[in-house]
Homo-oligomer: A and B are copies of this chain.
Amino acid sequence: MNSKENSNWKKKLHEIIYEADTPAGKLFDVILLLLILISVLVVMLESVEHLQAIYGTYFQIIEWVITILFTIEYILRVSTVKSPLKYIFSTYGLIDLAATLPKYLGLFIGNTEALLVLRSLRLLRVFTILKLARYIGASNDLLKAIKASRAKIGVFVFAVVVLSIVLGTIMYLIEGNADSGFTSIPRSIYWIVVTMTTVGYGDIAPVTALGQFFAAIVMIMGYGIIAVPTGIVSSEYTNFKNHKINTQVCNNCNESNHGDNAKYCHQCGERL
């Protein structure tokens, strides 16, 4: 096999693995997707005790088959890409490695105690599913709207955290002595978060009249607060869409990227 042939093979493999334009590339992506889904499913089912007891051996076989297939995929990815180091240290590269390595490490660190720790590492394979993000693509508008409101939601989340600490401390003072689960400030803060986000487990709940009154205020407050992030995303998204809806095209120069209220073309001055 001469060097040119080798280079041709590399190019073809790169096309199959990294692109989805050719039938072979599409097939590769579908098979990979199925393998990832099966691997996630097996990890999930293994954690169910009575299933593990019956089908444990089958799970082991499936895991090894998938691990070997993922290893082959990883080697092919590294060998066909132009800059292997860039791939290895990219997010996807590290996730791909984390999906295969733990299983091999399990062979050398042999006792059960260590395997339990290993198992937790192995579960990182679930992250491999994030590869699916590649198959979405069409939702760029949505992602842009979320990105645009990221900073504002960040400020909002920070304010909620500060508010939770203040309110949690007050609640600890009110219900701390009653036998209702408010045993420490961190637990009270946990309760405030559970309440303000309207989750409401009920594992901790106020029992005193004052505590219930204060809880009701916190809830109505949370009711108003929940409106803020929704308002932000909703508004950003509306603005984003409005800009896209603008379909003004200059009759003179065909420029189409005009502001919403533009009366004259910003390229040639023609009346729009």
**A158 proximity list for chain B (CB < 8 A):** 132, 136
One of B141, B189, B234 near A227 (C-beta < 8 A): B234
Q: Does A127 contact B (CB under 8 A)?
A: yes
Q: Decide if B234 touches A142 in the complex (CB within 8 Å).
A: no
Partner of A184, one of B47, B127, B155, B195: B47
Q: Give the 9 A-B residue pairs with the shortest CB-CB distance, closest first.
A: A231-B233, A199-B200, A201-B202, A231-B234, A227-B229, A47-B185, A202-B202, A227-B230, A197-B219
Number of interface residues of A (CB under 8 A): 92
**A153 within 8 Å of B by Cβ?**
yes
**Distance in angstroms between the alpha carbons of A156 and B40 in the assembled complex:** 20
Minimal Cβ-Cβ distance residue in B for A117: B173
**Chain B min CB distance to A217 (Å):** 9
Contact A189 B44 (CB under 8 A): yes
A interface residues (Cβ-Cβ under 8 A, vs B):
40, 43-45, 47-49, 120, 123, 126-127, 129-130, 132, 136, 138-139, 141-142, 145-146, 151-153, 155-162, 165-166, 169, 172-173, 176, 183-187, 189-190, 193-195, 197-203, 205, 209, 212-213, 215-216, 219-220, 222-224, 226-239, 241-242, 245-248, 259-261, 263, 271-272
Answer whether A235 and B232 are a contact pair too, CB < 8 Å, given A186-B44, A200-B201, A220-B157.
no
Main secondary structure of the interface of A (DSSP, over half): helix
Tell me the bound Cα distance from A129 to B233 in angstroms. 28
- Please tell me if the beta carbons of A263 and B272 are within 8 angstroms of each other in the complex: yes
A142 touches B165 (CB 8 A): no
Could you tell me the distance between the alpha carbons of A165 and B233 in the complex, rounded to whole angstroms? 25
Complex Cα–Cα for A246 and B228 (A): 23
**Smallest CB gap from A247: residue in B:** B259
A142 to B: closest C-beta gap in Å: 5
| B230→A212 contact, CB < 8 A | no
B162 contacts A152, C-beta separation under 8 Å: no
Q: Which of B126, B156, B203, B220 contacts A169 (CB 8 A)?
A: B126
Given the known interface contacts A198-B198, A231-B145, A245-B260, the answer about A44 and B238 at a Cβ–Cβ threshold of 8 Å is no
Nearest chain B CB to A226 CB, angstrom units: 7
Instruction: Evaluate contact between B162 and A132: CB separation under 8 angstroms.
Output: yes
Nearest-Cβ distance from residue A202 to partner chain B, whole angstroms: 4
A266–B187 Cα distance when bound, in Å, is 58
Is A220 a contact partner of B160 (Cβ separation < 8 A)? yes
